[in-house]
Structure 1
Amino acid sequence: MPDGSAPDEFRSFMSTFCTGVTVITAVGRDGRPHGLTCTSLTSVTVTPPTLMVCLDVRSGTLAAVRDSGRFAVNLLHDGGRRAAEVFSSAAPDRFERIPWQFGKAGQLWLMEDAFAVAECRVAEAVAVGDHVAVFGEVINTEQRAETPLLYGMRRFASWADPGVATEKVP
């Protein structure tokens, strides 16, 4: 039995998993905004409301999250592809290129590109390989009706028809 999958094989496998696109934002110790595109998001529990994001250990955004103990999860709508691309790049002027404002709990909200934002307080962080799983207790959410931006098979897409109800699974 093999000991594990090669990184390229695993990356290829995970690329087939379609998911929503988020931008994680935080304010660093120096007051500068930081952010990155992230598809590693999951809900953990409703009581207390907690989610988890996975961030690269080399990330300036992770450093800002650790320094401040807070972060925001911006869920991008299907018109937010440019923001996803800007925040997945190494561009130093990301926050000059994408409009943002502070949310009610003081975290960074990409208000033109995100249809929803969850402002979080770090509950726990666990290092796993070259990433850190950050558990955030949600302290505020804001949202409006929009179609989510999706990513899978190494490309962006839009929900086909968000108005069509799907059959509930028993």
Structure 2
Amino acid sequence: MVTERDFKDFMADVCTPVAVVTAMADGLPHGTTVGSLTSLSLRPPMVTVALEQRSRLLPKILRSARFGVNLLGAGQADVAGVFASSAAERFDRVGWCPDDGLPRLRGAPGWLVCELRRHVTGGDHLLLLGLVTRVSGTRGAAPLVYGGRTFGTHSGAAPTNTRSLTDRITAFAH
């Protein structure tokens, strides 16, 4: 039997992109940090994000059927922390502006505007399937990722193992 601890420890070693999902409700911005942003489809362009079923943001997205995705960049771990907290004044602590009727974080290198097409229950989360209606951002910016229970980045400029792919495949095969 898989224990919750075993599963959490395994998943801690999986690097995930860090984003802040946002929505507007009653003229106020709302948002939360997620590590579950995934590309779903190219035709049409769709993404998925997962929110806990008890998330305060979830009913706002379900009601409006729209959400924004602010892809965070390297150096924005503090922003991720703000939106992962339960603080009510999250948007008072970061720069943001309305963009296409949704809260967009200033300095986030990537931005998606999504229409909610469907939601699917998955355990204690709801998987949101969003049709991407707008994309903007800085190509090539180093993303903020979460893995090994810490924030970091991945970039083509980051140091890597210098062995060639052929050497690695050969070593793996033997």
TM-score by length of 2: 0.86
Structure 1 match to 2:149: 154
CA distance in 2, matches of 1:53, 1:22: 10
CA gap 1:32/1:148 in 2 versus in 1, 3 angstroms: same
CA distance in 1, matches of 2:156, 2:121: 38
Q: Deviations over 1:87-133 (max 9, x none)?
A: 00111100010111122x32211122x10111100000011111000
Seq. identity, %: 37
Aligned residue identity for 1:90: S
Aligned residue identity for 2:154: W
Q: Does residue 75 of structure 2 align to residue 79 of structure 1?
A: yes
CA distance in 2, matches of 1:126, 1:159: 30
Within 5 Å, give how 1:107-118 maps onto structure 2: 107-112=102-107, 114-118=108-112
Within 5 Å, give how 1:1-170 maps onto structure 2: 2=1, 5-28=2-25, 30-103=26-99, 105-112=100-107, 114-145=108-139, 146-162=141-157
Asked whether the equivalents of residues 24 and 101 of structure 2 are also in contact (C-alpha less than 8 Å), the reply is: no
CA distance in 2, matches of 1:47, 1:34: 29
Aligned residue identity for 1:147: A
Shift of 1:162: 3.8
Shift of 1:141: 0.8
CA distance in 1, matches of 2:72, 2:150: 15
Unaligned stretches of 5+ in structure 2? 166-174
CA distance in 1, matches of 2:66, 2:44: 16
Q: Secondary structure at the match of 1:77?
A: coil
CA distance in 2, matches of 1:162, 1:107: 33
CA distance in 2, matches of 1:60, 1:134: 15
CA distance in 2, matches of 1:67, 1:8: 34
Number of aligned residues: 162
TM-score by length of 1: 0.88
Unaligned stretches of 5+ in structure 1? none
Shift of 1:86: 0.3
Q: Which has the larger radius of gyration?
A: 2
